[in-house]
Structure formats: C-alpha cells, structure tokens
Amino acid sequence: MQKLLSRPLPNPPKPSLPYFFFHFVSKTTYDPPFSPIPKPLEPPKPKPKPPDTPNRNHASPIKSSLPFDFRHSYSETDPSLEPIGFREPKRFSPFGPGRLDREWTGTSAPVRDEVDSFRVHEERIRVLGDPLVEEEVGELVEKYRHSDCARQINLGKNGVTHNMLDDIHNHWKRAEAVRIKCLGVPTLDMDNICFHLEEKSGGKIIYRHINILILFRGRNYDPKNRPDIPLMLWKPYAPIYPKLVKNVADGLTFEETKEMRNRGLHSPALMKLSRNGVYVNVVARVREAFETEEVVRLDCTHVGMSDCKRIGVKLRDLVPCVPILFKDEQIILWRGKSDRELNSNISDTDEKSLGQRLLARLPVDSICPGKS
C-alpha cells in the first residue's frame, strides 16, 4: 500500500488558468501589459477670492488745474457753434461716471472756477524760460526732425485731441521735445494746429516744415509738477449741427443754384485729394482758381464722405467760399458774390427804396391829377 502511494501518477492533473491566477497572483500586484498608470489625484485648488472693488460712489473725482474747457478735439470744433441736437444723453460723460469734478454738457466739460488769464500767462512764461539760441534750436531740430525719431506723435483727422495732451507730457518726461506728424483734414490750417498745441500743452513750436512740427517743453519744465489730465475713456458721439449745404445758395435762385452745380460736376477737377494726405497747399490753390473761375471741383475719391464735409467746412471759412454740393466724393465750391456785384445790388435796392419813399411822400393829387 505504501508503494502504491509513493508511486508517481503517470499523468498528474495540470492546474487550470483561473486556479493559477487565484492562488499565485495577488489581486493587488496584478499588472497587465500596456495598462495606463493611474495618476495621483490632486487636491482641489481653492478658488481665488474676488478683489475688493472700491465703491465708485465714494471715490473722489479728479480735479484738474488746466484753465480751459475739456473737449474731445480742440482744433476741429468751433465753440461758438451751438448744436441743434445730440446723439447720446448728456449724462454719459466720456470721462466716466464720477471721475471728473466738471459737468459734461454734451460737447465739453467747462471750467468751474474763474480763470486768471494773467496768472496763467505768467506761469507759462516761467516754464518756458529764456528763449533758445540758434545753436540750441539747431541741435534739437537735428535730433528730432528725422522720421526714425522715437519721440513722435501722429496727429490725424481728429486734430489736437484731449488725450493727446497726456501723450505729449509723457514724452516730455524723458525728452526735451516731441515730433508731431500731421496728416488729414487738419493740415488745411496748420496755424490753427500750432496755436492749440502751444495753448493747451504750454510748450513752444521751434520747428515747422510742411506737416512736421517739433514742440519744445521749456527750460524750466518739471515732470513731477505736470498738470493732472483726466483721460477720456471713449470718443463721444458727434452732436448734430445745422445743414451744411442749403437747397438754394445765398444770393442765387433755385435755377441758378442748379446750373452752378451742373457746371461744377462737368468741369475738370482742380486737385485730386488722397485719404489722410497733406493738404497744406489746397487753400492757396482754391483761392488762385477763384480769380478766373466761378465754380471749382475737388476730386476726393476714396477720401470718404465724412472727410469731404470736413474739408468743405474748413475751405468755407479759410478761402472763403460757398460749398454748394457734395456728391460721389466730389466737392463743388462756389466763390460767391464778388464785392462789386454786392455793391451794385445794394445800390439798386437803395435806389428802389428811395423811389418808394419819395412816392409815399407825394400827395395823391400830384400822382393822379385826373382824380378830384
């Protein structure tokens, strides 16, 4: 019996695969090939607390010592011309709600306190100091007149804007002068640009060549004592002004106005203006053309209808002349009645009124002798 038990079996039973996995492979150590390695779970990040926003109602408004009314554009607007309507409510100030101690009227933010013009003039003279000599002017011009100058400000169709004043003072922190390149409609009147740049910034124009200006800050300028200039957060909508072109021009009848417009449309163009170009010689060319022509056409293709109207308004005041038509980016200008024609018309009306007054003074019997 013992021999039978010790004899090995001819074909011992093989363990099955589930038996092998169950007995020899632990469930915790089982790792099949190409299995993804589980990533450790990261603890959730705490949510950042929102910053404490100050109450706008209790924020103190900015008080500026600048002695002039704040406008979006100083050189391209006429303070004497009152608008007939607004495209947005007056309560929407472009400086933001409660950020300025001045009230927005729809076109400007006027000064509250009375301005002492003598004191302002004396302060400007003190900052400018002694006039520059020729050597100093030549050195500054040679340094800032080139096109690769880093201290440059581009002046576009909006002219001298309010935020441009802040840009000028930012350049004056590290430079004695700033180069200003003028393009577009404002170049029709460069004297107006120079006047507003000097008056609003307090600097001095030391160089002017076509559309390039160099604005000097002054000998005694202190960047730490620069004026506070509150920035406009957006461009305000332009107000509504009276109609620029009348249906019947002053001094003409309806048929004469229509004939003038047709003659101008079929006449050769005096000049072709480009978009954002330099128009410094346009006024002189129009004045010269009006010596021989009665109607002048300016070709403003690709300039834009808004810029065409801006050009017409400036030429009306600078030449002077009468814009009678804006059509298909073409400007038709009429030189208006000459002084000789106006004097003849005035003399004719005076003679008629004098005759009427004499007839009114005569007795009825002398006018109608047949009546008794």
Cβ neighbours for 286, distance < 8 A, ≥ 6 positions apart: 270, 296, 298, 315, 319, 321, 333
Query: Band of the pLDDT at 98, cuts 50, 70, 90?
Result: confident
Can you give the pLDDT at residue 329?
92
d(CA 261, CA 133): 54
Give per-residue pLDDT as tens, 162-171: 999 999 999 9
Q: Is residue 24 part of a domain?
A: no
Answer whether residue 286 is part of any domain: yes
What are the distances in angstroms from CA 334 to CA 1, 71, 137, 303, 339? 141, 32, 43, 21, 14
**SS3 of residue 229 by DSSP:** coil
Domain residues for the domain of 305 are 243-362
| 330-334 vs 295-299, strand pairing mode | antiparallel
Q: Provide the percentage of residues in the chain whose pLDDT is more than 90.
A: 63
Of 238, 257, 277, which residue sits at a domain end?
Answer: 238
> Which residues are within 8 A (CB) of 321 and not within 5 positions of it... i.e. 6 or more apart?
286, 290, 296, 315, 333, 334, 335, 336
pLDDT of 27 above 80: no
For 29, half-sphere exposure in the C-beta direction (CA atoms, 13 angstrom radius) is 6
pLDDT for 251: 87
Note if the pTM is more than 0.95: no
Judgement on whether residues 208 and 74 belong to the same structural domain of the protein: yes
Report CA Rg, the chain.
Answer: 40
Task: Let me know if residue 9 belongs to a domain.
Answer: no
Query: Which residue, of 238, 271, 291, is where some domain finishes?
Result: 238
Determine the average pLDDT of the residues in 322-347.
Answer: 77
In sequence order, which ranges of the chain are alpha helices (DSSP H)? 2-6, 17-24, 117-128, 134-144, 162-172, 190-201, 254-265, 282-289, 305-318, 339-361, 364-367
- Residue 17 domain flag: no
What is the arithmetic mean of pLDDT over 267-278? 94
For residue range 109-132, list pLDDT tens digits in order: 999 888 888 999 999 999 999 999
Interval 23-32 mean pLDDT: 54
Q: Last residue of a domain, which of 188, 204, 238?
A: 238
Q: Give a yes or no: residue 47 inside a domain.
A: no
Q: Kindly tell me if the per-residue pLDDT of 80 is higher than 50.
A: yes
Residue 117 lies in a domain: yes
pLDDT at 365: 46
Q: From residue 326, how far is each of 62, 160, 298, 307 by CA, in Å?
A: 43, 26, 10, 11
76 and 164 co-located in one domain:
yes
Q: One-letter amino acid identity for 313?
A: V
What pLDDT band is residue 60 in, cutting at 50, 70 and 90? confident
Same domain, 274 and 226: no
Q: Assess whether 148 and 85 both reside in one domain.
A: yes
pLDDT the model gives residue 21: 52
Is residue 234 located within the same domain as residue 310? Answer: no
Q: Are residues 213 and 301 in the same domain?
A: no
For the residues 274-282, what does the mean pLDDT come to?
Answer: 94
129 and 197 belong to one structural domain: yes
Structure-block tokens of residue 282: 């346009």
pLDDT tens readout for residues 215-246: 999 999 999 999 999 999 999 999 999 999 98
If we measure between CA atoms, which residue out of 187, 153, 183, 186 comes closest to residue 167?
Answer: 153
pLDDT at 74 over 90: yes
- CATH number for position 252: 3.30.110.60
